[in-house]
Structure 1
Amino acid sequence: MGSAVLVLAIGVWLVQDGVRTELPPRPSSAQSFPAAAAPADDGRQRATKPSIPGMGASPPIRIRIRAILVDAPVIPLTLDAEGHLEPPPPDDNNLVGWYEGGVAPGQNGTAVMAGHVDNKRGLSVFYGLGSLRPGAEVEIERKDRTTAVFSIDAVEEYPKDRYPSDKVYGETSRPELRLITCGGRFSKETGYQSNVVAYAHLTRAKSA
């Protein structure tokens, strides 16, 4: 998946010049994985939170997270000539990007979606990501008229200089989803100091 490239890109472009009347919510230890558990192929985690069989390949077109009032279109993201992930347009507050070089949400593997936390106009689509609680549902509407429904397993915050790329982007045999934005402390010189990552697994599929 080119995780090193993705880490660099996310650290660079997710939220540069937003309007910050207050910092976005930060996940607490209660939202994190237990110390002995890990996402993806850790047997203990999978045994307590089973997933359903993977869906076929189909691009996502919309994301809904009712717990944080997200209802946004999805666009594909690619890599630029330098191998960096192209960001969603910075002037759109309600838009999420999907890394189309990876799997589609609902397929077996780790699907990656990213969005801004704020921009020059104000708060953006993933501003509330850090407040998601385990068990919250994420609905991904797909082009084939199916909807992949995920359940949040954990939400964690990582300093950008200690971003655990293997944990975030590691291979998994079941359908999983990562939602990523910026967060933590903010500096006018360097932007947000951390990334917020929500981990989720597929729980059901719906047809239109």
Structure 2
Amino acid sequence: MNTPLVPLHLDATGTLPPPASDDRNLAGWYADGTTPGETGTAVIVGHLDTRQGTAAFYRLSTLTPGQTTIVQRGDGSTAIFSIDEVQNYPKSAFPTDHVYQPTGRPELRLITCAWPYDRAHGGYQDNTVVYAHLTGTTPSSTGAAGSVTNPR
């Protein structure tokens, strides 16, 4: 799936919100953080589903170590990441420091909601986090918008 990226910023509570749910094909990149492919931890978040049905990161939890994901950057270059691990965490015990920690190499985190769903307690109770590291890049081509492609 090729998913367009929109820039995201922390909200008033210091939380990175997902992209607007009116377009289930969108994912969002933490625009005040590391650019995917640069040294550090880049973060992309997307919805598991919306009222319209399955969304961009619906299959995120099915990714496995060794698969790749490609981020097409705003300048048209691509950053190719190899998946290291996929973890589920309860939202009530989300390991923020571990997920967002700075790294000495280019890394990527893909994040979405995860089952179980409990309407009485605010919806999805877990998050899926994909950890990946940069394994390659391709040169830029003009006119490209940011996007992420999963899996390969």
Q: Decide which of 105, 120, 127 is 1:195's aligned counterpart.
A: 127
Scaled by the length of structure 1, what TM-score is found? 0.64
Q: CA deviation at 1:171?
A: 1.3
* Partner residue, 1:159: 90
Equivalent pairs counted in the alignment come to: 139
**CA offsets, 1:38-73, max 9 Å, x none?**
xxxxxxxxxxxxxxxxxxxxxxxxxxxxxxxx2111
Root-mean-square deviation (CA, aligned residues, Å) is 1.2
Runs of at least 4 residues of structure 1 off by over 6 A? none
1:129 is the counterpart of 2:60:
yes
Distance, in Å, in 1 between the alignment partners of 2:87 and 2:33 is: 22
1:184 is the counterpart of 2:92:
no
Scaled by the length of structure 2, what TM-score is found? 0.87
Q: CA deviation at 1:86?
A: 4.1
Distance, in Å, in 2 between the alignment partners of 1:143 and 1:82 is: 28
Q: Decide which of 92, 99, 102 is 2:33's aligned counterpart.
A: 102
Q: CA deviation at 1:148?
A: 0.3
Distance, in Å, in 2 between the alignment partners of 1:161 and 1:138 is: 28
Distance, in Å, in 2 between the alignment partners of 1:86 and 1:163 is: 15
Q: CA deviation at 1:83?
A: 3.5
More helix by share: 1
More strand by share: 2
In structure 2, runs of 5+ residues without a counterpart are: 142-152
* Partner residue, 1:43: none
Q: Is the 8 A contact 1:77 1:88 kept in 2?
A: yes
Distance, in Å, in 1 between the alignment partners of 2:17 and 2:93 is: 22
Q: Is the 8 A contact 2:18 2:27 kept in 1?
A: no
**CA offsets, 1:121-164, max 9 Å, x none?**
00000010000011111111112221000000000000111111
Q: Decide which of 118, 121, 139 is 2:70's aligned counterpart.
A: 139
Distance, in Å, in 1 between the alignment partners of 2:89 and 2:17 is: 21
In structure 1, runs of 5+ residues without a counterpart are: 1-69
